[in-house]
Amino acid sequence: MPQSQLRIVIVGHVDHGKSTLIGRLLNDTGSLPDGKVEQVQEMSRKRGMPFEWAFVMDALQAERDQGITIDTTQIHFKTAQRPYVIIDAPGHTEFLKNMVTGASQADAALLVIDAGEGALEQSRRHAYLLHLLGVRQVAVVINKMDRVDFAKSRYETVAHEIKEYLAELGLFPKAVIPVSARNGDNIVVRNEDQGRWYLGPTVIEQLDAFRPQQTSPDQPLRFPIQDVYKPDDRRILAGRVESGRLRVGDTLRFAPTGASARIVSIEAWNHPETVLSAQAGQSIGVTLDKRIFAERGHVAHHEDAAPVLTHRLGVRLFWLVSEPMQVGRTYTLKIATGEHRVTVEQVTAVINVEDLTSTPGKAVHRNEVAEVTLRSRSPIAVDLAAELPRTGRGVLLDGNDVVGGCLVVEAEDAATNITEVSHTVSGEERASANGHKGGILWLTGLSGAGKSTLAMALERALFDRGWQTFVLDGDNVRNGLNAGLGFSPDDRAENIRRVAETAKLFADAGMVVIASLISPLRDDRARARVIGGDRFHEVYVSADLATCEERDPKGLYKKARAGEIAEFTGVSAPYEAPEQPELVIDTSTLGRSEALAHLLDYVDETLGKASLKSGRELTYVI
């Protein structure tokens, strides 16, 4: 019975014969379409060139003209044992970036080395990349043995050299195969004349001996969220199970928020039967028993086996572009479905791929390998690559360009050396002493809607009653707590996170915190709700844009219309109105006194003495 498909990456120095090897593999396994060989023969004749097996798989005219492969190409063929996909990763230095893309998908690799030239620097780089990308099944193909008369001594010299280097990387080749790709020796058919001293497998025999990478369902569960779908009244969290397994009824916890919920159903596309479980390798969706904040990049796991949550991690990376990586530069780190802004804190060591020695440095240049410390403002859920490669391996982006591939080798747990201290005063005692609960009233709305006016009036009214209360106003916190933040999307999100964390501390202390911020994006407010928990109350201070612009208390709309303020909410940047706020106050129809009265009524009901007795939490919309 045929086995499952195997993905092979073929790497090696330019001109060491990878394309010729692939052409021979396709021909000698009967995988070429009819007429393909004749087509290549005619093309070679017209060009006045000898027949080249490499032209069999060179699909682009530009590739044939340059004589080098310039893209990552997938080629399908099969043997009696199984189907294969060859990921042809380019060997030319200019196209190493494509190799990272190709090799990262591979189950196994063939490293092609010219018998005459041996393992040159680029061959060593490719070997290091295979190590970096976690490809553990490797065979070495020593090509062009016909040019050294299939000399056993030359084979042994090159084999010893490359095996010794691979061993230092922790890679042990399954075989080192002497071949002549041009003549077809030891590809499918053995060379029984010159190469009779070689008793190991042919290339095809070794390929058939490889095994597809298996991610054990017994490993810890990692289910990164790729997207959230709302096809009807359901909310489906979709993604691929990267490791472990999950079942209907399991309680999932989501990193980095810590939110948890139970699986109600598992949705599988084009699967008419009810699905009760899923395991590593399956792409599925799940529905949960309650609505929680979960988005693309969050990682679902079981309570007893969580990923590391870290702001600081050590990676081993391969740098791909001409502009060097430097300490202090900021990039996007993409691991699984998550993307995180990270800053280079330290270049611990730059590794010489020739002899694997390392030296400290402040920059990493093109094609160099280095160990680097990255720091993120927001927590990242990761695993060590040696333990769970799927969530421990990533790429660095500069804008939309891939600039490096990396493995996580060290992750400093955000909670390391931090022990939460229990308060001797309980929340109930604080509420009883204050005569009210602690809470967060999050006032959101357009500039000019009246948030700050309402917030300050509410603070005054509550203080006059003897309540413990304080306003966190958007402009005020930017003069102190968040003075170092700008107005980029990342900085805006961090501004809201810090205010939410500060408001939570106030609320834990028993105070009523009134946070007045535009906070235009639903996702940012959802994160604030996760931080605030049950104490969080979203108040939508509603007023249409025309009303807000007519008021324009700070003259900001006028500046925005004149082009003096970029990305101004409501004019050149969006405002996403709350979908299910606890309270809506329309200040375009209500006067200040009426609006304040409604807000006070809501606060009395939810945080006042009546709520202390009943324990009720109300949704109150006017």
The residue among 256 and 125 whose pLDDT is bigger is 256
* Residue 358 pLDDT: 79
* In the predicted structure, residue 242 carries a pLDDT above the cut 50: yes
**Mean pLDDT throughout 550-556?**
89
**pLDDT per position as a tens digit, 69-109:** 444 456 788 888 899 988 765 554 444 555 555 555 678 99
- pLDDT for 622 equals 34
- Burial label for 70, CB within 10 Å (0-12, 13-18, 19+), is middle
- Could you tell me the two tokens for 513? 């915190």
* Rg of the chain taking only CA atoms, in angstroms: 31
Q: Is the pLDDT of residue 422 over 80?
A: no
DSSP class per residue in 49-86: ----GGGGT--SHHHHHHTS--S-EEEEEE-SS-EEEE
Please work out, in degrees rounded to the nearest 5, the angle formed at the alpha carbon of residue 595 by the alpha carbons of 594 and 601: 90
Over residues 293-299, the mean pLDDT reads: 91
pLDDT at 214: 66
Active site residue 519: yes
At 481 the pLDDT is: 87
**Average pLDDT value over all residues in the chain:** 85
Q: What is the pLDDT of residue 418?
A: 55
Cβ-proximal residues to 308 (8 Å cutoff; 6+ apart), any chain: 381, 382, 383, 384, 411, 413
Note whether 405 and 318 are within 8 A (CB).
yes
Out of 13-17, 70-74, 209-213, least confident range: 70-74
Q: If you average pLDDT over residues 433-455, what whole number do you get?
A: 94
DSSP class of 529: H
Which of 178, 174, 173, 181 has the alpha carbon at shortest distance from 202?
A: 178
pLDDT attached to residue 613: 59
- Active-site pick, 19, 180, 516, 519: 519
pLDDT tier for residue 330 given thresholds of 50, 70 and 90: very high
Q: Highest-confidence range of 98-107, 263-272, 513-522, 605-614, by mean pLDDT?
A: 513-522
Instruction: Bin 337: left if φ > 0, else alpha if -120 < ψ < 50, else beta.
Output: alpha
Q: Tokens 């081993």 — which residue?
A: 316
What pLDDT is recorded for position 417? Answer: 53
Out of 44-58, 327-341, 554-568, give the one with best mean pLDDT: 327-341
